[in-house]
Structure 1
Amino acid sequence: MDHLILAPAARRNAVLELMRSSQRFLTLSMFRCDDLSVIDEVAAAVKRNVRVRVLITQRARGWKQRLKELGALLESTGAIVHRYDGPLMKYHAKYVIADNGRALVSSLNFTRKCFESTCDFMVFSEDPAVVSGLNIIFDNDYGQPASPLPELTDRLIVGPDHARQRITHLLAGAKASIRIIDHRVIDPAMVSLLLEKQKEGVLVQVVGQGPMGGLISHGRMILVDNDVAALGSIHLSPPSLDSRREVAIVVRDRENVNELNDFFDSLAADGSNLMSLSSETHVHTDDDEDEDEDEIYSTVGA
């Protein structure tokens, strides 16, 4: 029911194929986009009489003018574009819905860099609960954003509504291992919880900055007990947990979880990119400095 994509070479075509599959409706939540093939597919969808709606943020570091240009370009294709104007700091969620039948939840942006060079995660799902949940989020945020959101499937973790609560519960339930890919593990409460789990004998590993198999650190993953994973836009940082619209998807099927575990093993093989947790990791930066985001990538060696 879910299809996981990790390899950069497969990302662009996977997104474009999802967009091409739409016959009636195409819904996109964008944070950044500079890949013209995505714009071309929006235009192509409009030409085949697909109703295309796009929700974009109004805040992205270094992108003030480019976001205006992106909105205008999308509108020129005939897409219906809404610039998020709700109470949250940023609209940072990355998801796509085609015909209410298949959806993508991702950590990447629709940029050339994310399509080619970053460590990122894409989950394509046909789970009706996931698809309907994403539609609820989009419809809520597209109009006059209401808070809180109505109840959604437990397969979606949504910030700021319940991201902190859900991720805390996920980590607290670990019995054997916690494996995280995230270069912004700086939230004091989350770091304290990870240290507590270490003291309980749980293996805690965090791949942050450092060698990433030739990729650039960007995407976020949490893998607990090699049993359940959460993938998406959420960092373990205060702004991401508490102040932004973020979306992650929970993955439990054995094939995908095993693939994520193997991927983590490949990144952490030499240990040099494993983050050392301590009470001194409690760093709280303000929102403008806490940018995953997505212009300020952590550049690393091969």
Structure 2
Amino acid sequence: MMLVDQKELYVLAFNFTHLDIDHSRSFGLITRNPKLVQEAGRLFNADTKRQVYKPGHAKFLVSPVNAREELAAFVKGAKKELLIYDPKVSDRAILRLLNERLRAGVEIRVIGHVSGGRLPSRELKRMRLHTRVMIRDRRQAFLGSQSLRQLELDARREIGVIFRDRSAIAALLRVFKEDWAASEPAKRDAASDRLATKTAKKVAKVVRNNISAGPVVKQVVKAVRQKADKKLTKEVEQTVKAAVKVAIGDSVKKATKEAVKTIANTALEPEVAGGQKR
């Protein structure tokens, strides 16, 4: 996010790096909407002063404050079509909503990776994918830095906006159509993925029941306090704690799933006889 002279708001789904700007698919939005500009200023002032930010505009999405609620409502509101750019769609609650919309007859297409492999998706092949965008019914769009995954919805400061600008949405639709046509269907190792997901859930449950994240959380909070050289606000401490817990859970699930998939793919490989698969 960038504010210019308290008049223009730049919402960018990319970083100021050579890789993001010149070699990645991403988008940005420039707006002079006074309410959005004012809300962005309120957020910036609150964060720089380490004060609690309270959302004041439903179209200005901030993680971990109102982004989950507003993005869930955005998905629920899809009637005919929902087009998504997202490197990693994995949040369980959001996935449930997307699958509900799919069963209700909404056409959903995702450029990026989707956990579970149930939604129509393709992998962007022409370049690196770094944007987070949703286009709903060709009339409204979301653009921001939040991926539809728990860490970015619940434990990080991420920013996005929902808008209706016709020309901007038309441009997004044109690029999405080109990228979809040039991309390949996401690979689905159905059998191994089901086994890996099921096993990862079981392992994560065992970890949650038998290993306390408390000591790790305390160490991280202590380290952050020392780094900041001051007492942390309650909001910051809660954010740190949430981030650590999510990171531990994600690490366990990811490591378990990858290990099981590797083993499962080997086990499910057709037998080889005389150098040929049967």
| TM-score grouping bracket, smaller chain normalisation | 0.5 to 0.7
What is the alpha-carbon distance in structure 2 between the residues aligned to residue 218 and residue 289 of structure 1? 24
Counterpart position of 1:168: 72
Partner of residue 287, structure 1 = 247
The residue aligned with 1:73 is none
Between the aligned residues of both structures, percent identity stands at 26
- Alignment pair present for 1:113 and 2:25: no
Is the CA contact 2:72–2:94 (under 8 Å) kept in the aligned structure 1?
Answer: yes
| Alignment match of 1:224 (pick from 136, 139, 145) | 136
Equivalent in the alignment of 1:181: 85
Is the 1:119–1:217 Cα contact (8 Å) retained in structure 2?
Answer: yes
Deviations 1:144-167 (A, max 9, x none): 231xx2342232111111111100
Q: Report the counterpart of residue 137 of structure 1 in structure 2.
A: 43
CA distance in 1, matches of 2:2, 2:15: 11
**In 1, Cα distance between the equivalents of 2:105 and 2:32?**
37
Which of 251, 265, 271 is the equivalent residue of 2:177? 265
Does structure 1 conserve the Cα–Cα contact (< 8 Å) formed by 2:67 and 2:153?
yes
Structure 2 letter corresponding to 1:197:
R
Alpha-carbon distance between aligned partners in 2 of 1:289 and 1:272, rounded to the nearest angstrom: 31
For residues 64-100 of structure 1, what are the alpha-carbon distances to aligned partners after superposition, in whole Å with 9 as ceiling and x for unaligned? xxxxxxxxxxxxxxxxxxxxxxxxxxxxxxx111110
When residues 193 and 153 of structure 1 are mapped into structure 2, their CA distance, relative to the original with a 3 A threshold, is same
Q: CA 1:111–1:271 in 2, change beyond 3 Å: closer, same or farther?
A: closer
User: Is 2:88–2:149's contact at 8 Å kept on the other side of the alignment?
Assistant: yes
Report if aligned partners of 1:160, 1:244 keep a CA contact under 8 Å in 2.
yes
Structure 2 unpaired stretches of 5+: 114-121, 205-245, 252-278
Query: What amino acid sits opposite 1:287 in the alignment?
Result: A
Corresponding residue pairs, total: 194
Letter in 1 for 2:77: G
Q: Which amino acid aligns with 1:226?
A: R
Unmatched 5+ stretches in structure 1? 1-94, 292-302
Amino acid at match of 2:167: E
Q: Deviations over 1:103-132 (max 9, x none)?
A: 200110111111211111110111111111
TM-score, normalised via structure 1 length: 0.59
> What TM-score, normalized to structure 2?
0.63
- 8 Å CA contact retained: 1:268, 1:274: no
**In the superposition, relative to structure 1, how do residues 273 and 99 fare at CA in structure 2: closer, same or farther (>3 Å)?**
farther
- In the alignment, the residues of structure 2 paired with residue 200 and residue 240 of structure 1 have an alpha-carbon distance, to the nearest angstrom, of 27
Question: Could you tell me how far 1:219 is from its partner in structure 2?
Answer: 0.9
Return 160-169 or 202-211, whichever deviates more: 202-211
- Cα distance change on mapping 1:170 and 1:211 into 2, 3 Å: closer
Cα distance in structure 2, aligned partners of 1:271 and 1:131: 36
Q: 2:2 aligns with which of 74, 80, 96?
A: 96
Specify which structure has the higher proportion of helix: 2
Q: Deviations over 1:30-55 (max 9, x none)?
A: xxxxxxxxxxxxxxxxxxxxxxxxxx
Moved runs in structure 1, 4+ residues, more than 4 A? 273-276, 278-286, 288-291
Residue 134 of structure 2 aligns to a residue whose secondary structure is strand
1:288, 1:145 → 2: CA distance?
A: 27
Kept in 1: contact 2:111–2:123 (CA 8 A): no
**2:240 corresponds to:** none
| CA distance in structure 1 between the aligned counterparts of 2:83 and 2:66, rounded to whole angstroms | 21
Q: CA deviation at 1:194?
A: 0.7
1:142-197 deviations in whole A, cap 9, x for unaligned?
11231xx2342232111111111100000001100111100110001111111111
1:141: how far off? 0.6
Report deviation, 1:256: 1.0
1:222: Cα distance to partner?
A: 0.8
In the TM superposition, 1:8-27 aligns within 5 A as: none
Q: Which has the higher contact order (CA 8 A, sep 6+)?
A: 1
What letter corresponds to residue 168 of structure 1 in structure 2? Answer: A
